[in-house]
């Protein structure tokens, strides 16, 4: 594009310089011709036409008119003037030929310029089409870039939300682990308490059985010794007091057994509830 523009500028410069140079030569010859004719034929009036061909025709006509009015002996001077005019006419013809050549060159240059302008126009159209396509691609790329940035922001927000949710899940899992550990610790404690209660229950049952055996033996002894009650009043009173104390002890042990059984039942329910709550 720049090379064609430079070529066009060079051709236009050459054409302008050639035209100016040839025009200057032609004008110089025309001025010299007119001055020479006027110097050789001062009696011939100078025509007023600007065009040189018309000026020469008018000058020749005026010269013929002056020649007709002059005496016969002045003819050689006119002939000499005509002879002097001949080289100038040849120069003018040469200048006219050069002008025709210049005109032909001008036409050639104009044709080249027209072709160059056509090439430039086609290149300009191609550049405009390419620029239009490039702008369209740029707009599409900018639109895609905006969408990608929007998607990036959305993904970033989703990632932050996922991180927050992950942190929440970790906290909840840690809390559940703590609760599970506490439940296991509670289960261990309750298991120890249950074992201890079972031990106490076993001891209470043994004591109860022992007391019941004592009561049975005491009852049998009472039956055997009824015949001698009249003679052993103090022993009976003592035994009755002992029996009353033993019966009271049996009642207390029975109440203790019932209480222990209730505690065991509650402890079993609590253990099962803890297992359900912890997922075991």
Averaged in consecutive runs of 10 residues, what is the pLDDT profile of the chain (280 residues)? 63 71 76 77 76 79 77 53 64 73 77 80 86 90 92 90 85 84 82 75 74 69 51 59 69 74 65 50
Q: Scanning the structure block, which residue is given the tokens 């001008």?
A: 106
When divided into structural domains, the chain yields a total of 2
- Mark whether 137 and 190 lie in a shared domain: no
- Mark whether 198 and 91 lie in a shared domain: no
Total Cβ atoms within 10 A of residue 161: 10
Of 141, 173, 200, which residue is a domain's last? 141
Domain residues for the domain of 249 are 183-278
- Mark whether 131 and 188 lie in a shared domain: no
81 and 40 in contact (C-beta within 8 Å)?
Answer: yes
pLDDT value of position 242: 65
Asked if residue 165 belongs to a domain, the reply is no
Alpha carbons 160 and 157: distance in angstroms, whole number: 5
Alpha carbons 271 and 98: distance in angstroms, whole number: 128
pLDDT value of position 255: 77
- Mark whether 13 and 126 lie in a shared domain: yes
Asked if residue 174 belongs to a domain, the reply is no
pTM of the prediction? 0.32
pLDDT value of position 140: 92
- Mark whether 196 and 110 lie in a shared domain: no
pLDDT value of position 273: 55
pLDDT value of position 76: 46
- Mark whether 111 and 199 lie in a shared domain: no
């Amino acid at each position: 594009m720049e090379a064609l523009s430079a070529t066009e500028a060079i051709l236009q410069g050459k054409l302008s310089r050639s035209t100016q140079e040839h025009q200057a030569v032609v004008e110089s010859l025309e001025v010299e011709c007119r001055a020479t004719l006027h110097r050789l034929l001062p009696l011939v009036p100078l025509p007023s036409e600007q065009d040189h061909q018309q000026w020469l025709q008018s000058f020749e006509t005026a010269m013929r008119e002056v020649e007709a009015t002059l005496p016969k002996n002045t003819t050689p001077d006119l002939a000499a003037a005509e002879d002097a005019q001949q080289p100038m006419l040849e120069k003018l013809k040469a200048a006219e030929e050069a002008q025709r050549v210049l005109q032909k060159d001008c036409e050639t240059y104009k044709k080249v310029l027209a072709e160059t302008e056509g090439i430039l126009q086609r290149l300009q159209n191609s550049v405009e089409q390419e620029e239009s396509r490039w702008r369209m691609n740029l707009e599409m790329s900018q639109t895609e870039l905006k969408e990608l940035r929007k998607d990036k922001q959305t993904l970033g927000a989703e990632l932050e939300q996922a991180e927050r949710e992950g942190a929440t899940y970790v906290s909840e899992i840690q809390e559940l682990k703590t609760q599970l550990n506490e439940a296991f610790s509670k289960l261990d404690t309750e298991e120890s308490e249950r074992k201890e209660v079972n031990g106490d229950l076993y001891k209470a049952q043994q004591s109860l059985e022992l007391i019941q055996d004592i009561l049975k033996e005491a009852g049998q002894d009472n039956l055997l010794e009824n015949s001698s009650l009249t003679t052993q009043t103090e022993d009976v009173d003592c035994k009755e007091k002992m029996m009353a104390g033993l019966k009271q002890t049996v009642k207390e042990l029975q109440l203790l057994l019932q209480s222990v059984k209730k505690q065991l039942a509650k402890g079993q329910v609590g253990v099962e509830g803890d297992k359900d709550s912890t997922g075991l």
